[in-house]
Structure 1
Amino acid sequence: MQNFTFVEKVLWAKCGSIVFKTPDIVLTHDNTVSIKKTFENMGGEKVKNPDQLLVVLDHNAPPTNAKLATDYQTVRELVQEQGIKKFYDAGSGICHQIMSYHAKPGMIIVGSDSHTCTAGAFNALAVGIDRTEAAGLWKRSETWFRVPESIKITLNGQLPEGVYAKDLSLWIIGMIGSAGANYMSIEYHGDGVKNLSISERMTLANLASEMGAKNAVFPPDQVLEAFYGEKVKGIWADEGARYFKEYEIDLSDLVPLVAAPHHVDNVKSIAEVKGVKLNQGLIGTCTNGRLEDLRIAAKILDGKQVAAGFQLLVAPASKEIYLDAIKEGIITKLMKAGATILGSSCGPCLGTGQGIPADGFTVISTANRNFLGRMGNKNAQIYLASPATVACSALTGEITDPRTDASYQIKFPFQKEQNATILIQESDNRKSNGVWDYSDVDHLNTDQMFAGNLTYEVLSSDPAGIHPHLFKGFDDSFAGRVEEGDILIGGENFGCGSSREHPAVGLAHAGVRAVVVKSVNRIFYRSAINQGLLLIVSREIVGSYQKNDVLTLDFQEGVVHIGEKRFEIPALPDKLQQIIKSKGLVNWVRTVI
């Protein structure tokens, strides 16, 4: 008798299978206005199942310009016309926090945001998708899933004083790397799990995206039952299930950590960065904006003052959390200490709202990403840390250990050699014989391919508008020189970061024939297929290519030639081949339905 992992049970298929399923919830946020246009391009008029949809306005809430305000109104009108009942207007909160009102054990949840995986805290299979796929779900109600391999992480013991779930998340990311769980399902096991609250589990599940994972999940245990106030019947892995990798962590060994610029897996202990001067701090976001997080910060800041010249921003994750924090006196304590309280939105995290740092600023944030330019200014540096570390650092104006007894100091034991953030110079001329060679660039993220602060200024349904911004700030020559038929070669973990589909849309619109990479981030892989952009994952092909080589590709035959060398392209399932041959999901859906 075979023993199954959690994800094999939910999808009821063996690892490696491709299955089509109908999700219980389809989440969208500000990108709903773009999804609406794509839905209409698919021939959609009436959403097939309005009860499946959860729509939250949060990324630019409240809107920061007239265009965004108009987009918000378009979404309000849409939910009325389509009869979508699960709608949360600006100010209600961040979509992943709102999801806690709707997620249930054993559900399949998808969302057009990479941090949809946060709902794994509720024993749900929760995964990110892109906007085009969301539009397809509006029309068809189902989508495809590849059943991933699973990683088992066993937690033992309890976190020590001054160490939090954010530190544990960073420990794991630093240990396995930002691509260490690429396209995999992470299961959390062990007696240490019962010592983690739902809020802490949400932090851990949220940051699964920064490990490259498809999802992360916790068991349907007594902690979850206490959250719901009733018995729950969830799904969990069988004893003896087979895992791709297994890790065991003694929580008592952990110390406070940060992710240093400009990669989330550039993890260091506080001991290694203590004293780094800071200008700004952020407590909030979908990762650490819950009531527990605000309590921790308020306890540290109560009766004290943030350092002179330091700007501390606080963004509660939802209106309910904001109100509870007011009732408990948390907001008063934070404000008296010098913090500025923002609305419940995502804005500061990705640089679309208040809190954009100045040139030369060093920021410490409880958010989930610290890519170059992530908060809206590529001339700033971002450290990621727990709410306690941010609060303590706000008092001193430098990175500070939150423990009362910080005598236990270690260097982070899993330090990896970090690639410097590469900025391509025009004189490098990365293009030869129609091939763009970025094979030496690992972790090329979607912020580098298309700036995050443009995400809602230029819709993904506007490929011509995307084109001029492709790779700006990474390789400024690309957008002006890319031609139809070009091929792009990339390194490890290509397309990591946000579920933003703009890069795939722009590359397909430019006529790029194929993208060939050593490894790829899961959501970018899906976005490429959805745009009809052929993506080939082959270390052998990338490793064999040398600048000025002649590279040819025959998709029908499934072959790549580099000079005299011949390489077979790994075959895709039939339906995915149909999508690529149709030049994207929009065309495929329009023809099959």
Structure 2
Amino acid sequence: MAQGISGAIIEQHTTGEKEGDFLEVSVDFVLLHDPLFALILPELKQLERGIWDKDKVLVTVDHFAPPSTIERANIVRDVLDYVKAENIENCLVYQGICHQLLVEGNWINPGMLVLGTDSHTTTAGAMGCLATGMGSTDILYTLVTGKTWLRPPKAVRVDLNKAMPPYLMGKDVILDLLGRYGEAGFVYQALEFYDNDAAVKMDDRFAICNMVVEGGAKTGLFFPDDITRKYIIQRQGADTAPWSIPDHKPVYDRTMELDLSAMTPKLALPSSPANVCHVAGAGPVSIDQVYIGSCTGGRLEDLKAASIILKDKRIAKGMRLLVSPASQTIYRDAINCGYIQDILDAGGIILNPSCGLCGGIDKGILAADETCLSTSNRNFQGRMGDPASRVYLASALTAAACAIAGRIIDPREVL
């Protein structure tokens, strides 16, 4: 019997074909970003079959946004030439990070089955859908057929209880979970979150689902509720009910409970997202650069958190504070709310929305022996620059506090 909401979604999408434990399923939507889509374009053209349903794909140019080398400019050109030739309508160029753009548009709703060319496609699970990343060969198969093969994962129910304190964010919640169970704690499992006290905002939910893959999970989702419904109505002006979610109580392999009110700010030490400690126990670590951005930590709530900390203050002497909103929409909203002005007044630099620094592509790459505190999702050796650099991961609240202090501190010291 399939477990959890994830298993029910897989069963709802099955075509009836089966090979061992794997089921053939129909796919509702596919997310494509510039470098990996470019990688499969030669094979896609050679097949001469085209994309099975062009309305069910979103192409983004977000990694090389804009291109910083001739090679990357040619990659972007190849992608856009194909989009134009095939009349693909859903294409967003330099508008933000693919995972944020996916949930900002009207494409994703609870109960859907979504694939993407990036492991952090799991972000969309905050919408109550099954979203997961796949490699180039699997995505090529789906683009041509509209189908894929999935083995229903074991499902883990995670009950989130009580309210988060004002010094806590979704990033702290997922770091807490990764610190407890490690990088291999949820290999090919589905983490399904229940916000029992309606205390976790959508932006925090996106951050949590974004990083479930760092614990090996196949997918992660939130049980859709009134917070989900409010987000959908705000996004598109109307509800999309009825949602395609199971009408029976899902079965789980195991259940765990997290008391949000008892949590403290967390920090991932180099060089693993699961190498987690309490921020207050990190010791006196000086930092050269703070980065607030990425598909994990560049949403409006993150910029609001940074604004709360930075307002009427200045960052430490010699500190580089780089802030990249996750999308142009977030950028505009943050301007209108005054968050960007607060960040600028504190000495921060605003970068255009892109995957640049998080992936070590451009705009703020670290030199040897430099230390960065980042709101992104990975801190592997060399991830954001020179292999001899060091990256710590934390929430936007913690990041902004550290930018003021010039060292790692608990955000409660300045709130």
Question: Does TM, scored on the shorter chain, surpass 0.5?
Answer: yes
Contact 2:62 2:354 (C-alpha < 8 Å) held by counterparts: yes
Report the Cα distance in structure 2 between the residues aligned to 1:173 and 1:38, rounded to whole angstroms: 37
1:345 is matched with: 354
The one-letter amino acid of 2:410's match is D
How many residues matched?
A: 402
- The alignment status of 1:362 with 2:362, answered yes or no, reads no
Question: Which of 326-335 and 378-387 deviates more?
Answer: 326-335
**Alignment match of 1:261 (pick from 250, 270, 294):** 270
Aligned-pair CA distance for 1:400: 0.9
The alpha carbon displacement at 1:275 in A equals 2.2
2:158 matched to which residue of 1?
153
Does residue 93 (structure 1) correspond to residue 79 (structure 2)? The answer is: no
CA contact (8 A) 2:298 2:326 kept: yes
Any idea what SS the aligned residue of 1:93 has? coil
**In the aligned structure 1, how far is the partner of 2:81 from the partner of 2:350?**
30
Name the structure 1 match of 2:136: 131
Of 55, 74, 93 in structure 2, the residue corresponding to residue 51 of structure 1 is 55
AA matched with 1:55: V
Indicate the RMSD between aligned Cα atoms, in angstroms.
Answer: 1.9
TM-score (norm 2): 0.93
Return closer, same or farther for 1:190/1:341 CA change in 2, 3 Å cut-off: closer
**Partner residue, 2:11:** 12
2:123 maps to: 118
Distance 1:24 1:233, change over 3 A: same
Query: What displacement does 1:235 show?
Result: 4.4
Structure 2 residue aligned with 1:83: 87
Q: Which is higher, the Rg of structure 1 or of structure 2?
A: 1
The SS at the match of 2:242 is: coil
**Structure 1 pair 32–179 and aligned structure 2 pair: CA distance change class (3 A):** same
The one-character-per-residue Cα deviations of 1:75-95 (angstroms, maximum 9, x if unpaired) are: 1111111121110012x0000
Q: What whole-Å deviation, never above 9, does each CA across 1:414-448 have from its counterpart, x for those lacking one?
A: xxxxxxxxxxxxxxxxxxxxxxxxxxxxxxxxxxx
Which residue of structure 2 lines up, in the alignment, with residue 247 of structure 1? Answer: 256
Q: Which amino acid aligns with 1:97?
A: Q
TM-superposed CA distance for 1:226, in Å, is 0.8
Alpha-carbon distance in 1 for matches of 2:231, 2:156: 26
Partner of residue 563, structure 1: none
1:318 aligns with 2:327: yes
Is 2:146 the counterpart of 1:141?
yes
Which deviates more from structure 2 when the two are superposed, residues 240-249 or residues 256-265? 240-249
Q: Distance in 1 between matches of 2:24 and 2:2?
A: 22
1:187 has 2:187 as partner? no
| Pairs within 5 Å for 1:447-462 | none
Q: Distance in 1 between matches of 2:127 and 2:287?
A: 36
Distance (Å, rounded) in 2 between the aligned partners of 1:327 and 1:135: 41
**Aligned residue in 2 for 1:211:** 215
Higher relative contact order (CA 8 A, sep 6+): 2
Q: CA deviation at 1:242?
A: 3.0
Q: What CA distance in whole angstroms lies between the structure 2 residues aligned with 1:142 and 1:51?
A: 15
Is the partner of 1:136 in helix, strand or coil? helix
Kept in 2, the 8 Å contact 1:307–1:397? The answer is: yes
Q: In 2, distance between residues paired with 1:404 and 1:239?
A: 46
Which residue identity is paired with 2:265?
Answer: P
Q: What pairs with 1:267-286 in structure 2 (closer than 5 Å)? A: 267-286=276-295
Aligned partner of 1:81: which letter?
A
In the alignment, the residues of structure 1 paired with residue 393 and residue 126 of structure 2 have an alpha-carbon distance, to the nearest angstrom, of: 21
More displaced, 340-349 or 155-164? 155-164
The answer on whether the counterparts of 1:54 and 1:87 sit within 8 Å (CA) in structure 2 is: yes
TM-score with structure 1 setting the length: 0.66
What is the rounded CA distance, in whole Å, between the counterparts of 2:170 and 2:143 in structure 1? Answer: 35
Task: Provide the residue aligned with 2:311 in structure 1.
Answer: 302
Q: C-alpha separation between the residues in 1 aligned to 2:54 and 2:9?
A: 23
Give the letter aligned to residue 399 of structure 1: I
Check conservation: 2:117, 2:136, Cα contact below 8 A: yes
Q: Distance in 2 between matches of 1:77 and 1:223?
A: 39
Provide Cα deviations, 1:325-360, integer angstroms capped at 9, x if missing partner.
112221111111111111100010010011101111
* Counterpart-to-counterpart distance in 2, 1:328 and 1:160: 23
Secondary structure in 2 matching 1:350 = coil
Q: How does 1:518-533 map to 2 (within 5 A)?
A: none
The whole-number CA distance in structure 2 between the counterparts of 1:380 and 1:172 is 26
Partner AA of 1:66 in structure 2: I
Q: Deviations over 1:543-588 (max 9, x none)?
A: xxxxxxxxxxxxxxxxxxxxxxxxxxxxxxxxxxxxxxxxxxxxxx
Give, in angstroms, the shift of residue 161 of structure 1: 2.4
CA displacement, residues 98-120 of structure 1 (integer Å, 9 cap, x when unaligned): 01112111111000100000000
Question: Structure 1 pair 258/55, CA: closer, same or farther in 2 (3 Å)?
Answer: same
| Correspondence 1:25 to 2:29 | yes
